[in-house]
Amino acid sequence: MKKIITGVVAVGVVAVGALWAFASVTPNVTVDAAVANRAGDPVHGAYLARAADCIACHTAKGGTPFAGGLPFETPVGTIYSTNITADKEHGIGGYTFEEFALAMREGVAKGGKRLYPAMPFTSYAKVSDADLQDLYAYFTQQVPQSSQPNRASDIAWPLSIRWPLAYWSRAFHDDSRYVADTTKSVEWNRGAYLVQGLAHCSTCHTPRGAAMQELDVSGKTDLYLAGSSLDHTAPINLRSSAGGGLEAWSEADIVATLKTGRNPHASVSGPMGEVVENSTQYLSDADLKAMAVYLKSLGTPPQAPSFHADDNTLKTILAGEAHGRGADMYLDSCSACHRMNGRGASGVFPSLVNNAMVTQANPDSLIAVILAGSRLPSTQTAPSPLAMPGFGWRYSDDDVAQLATFVRSSWGNQGPAITAKDVAAVRAKAGS
Please state the residue numbers annotated as binding site for heme c: 54, 57-58, 201, 204-205, 334, 337-338
Cα-Cα-Cα-Cα torsion 420, 421, 423, 424, nearest 10 degrees, comes to: 120
CA distances from 296 to 91, 191, 241, 250, 290 (A): 39, 10, 10, 8, 10
Query: To 5 degrees, how large is the angle CA 188–CA 383–CA 351?
Result: 70
Residues 337, 349 contacting (CB under 8 angstroms)? yes
Compute the distance between CA of residue 46 and CA of residue 146 in angstroms, rounded to an integer.
18
Coil vs helix vs strand at 349: strand
* Binding site per annotation, positions: 54, 57-58, 201, 204-205, 334, 337-338
Tell me the CA end-to-end span of the chain in Å, nearest whole number: 58
Question: Can you name the residues that pair with 345 across neighbouring β-strands?
Answer: 349
Compute the distance between CA of residue 276 and CA of residue 194 in angstroms, rounded to an integer.
15
Residues 225, 235 contacting (CB under 8 angstroms)? no
Distance of CA 402 to the CA centre of its chain: 29
> Which of 236, 275, 268, 293 has the alpha carbon at shortest distance from 350?
268
Q: What is the DSSP string of 381-401?
A: S-----EE---TTTS-HHHHH
Question: Can you name the residues that pair with 241 across neighbouring β-strands?
Answer: 244
Residues 8, 85 contacting (CB under 8 angstroms)? no
Compute the distance between CA of residue 305 and CA of residue 396 in angstroms, rounded to an integer.
36
> Which of 340, 344, 351, 374 has the alpha carbon at shortest distance from 249?
351
Compute the distance between CA of residue 194 and CA of residue 202 in angstroms, rounded to an integer.
11
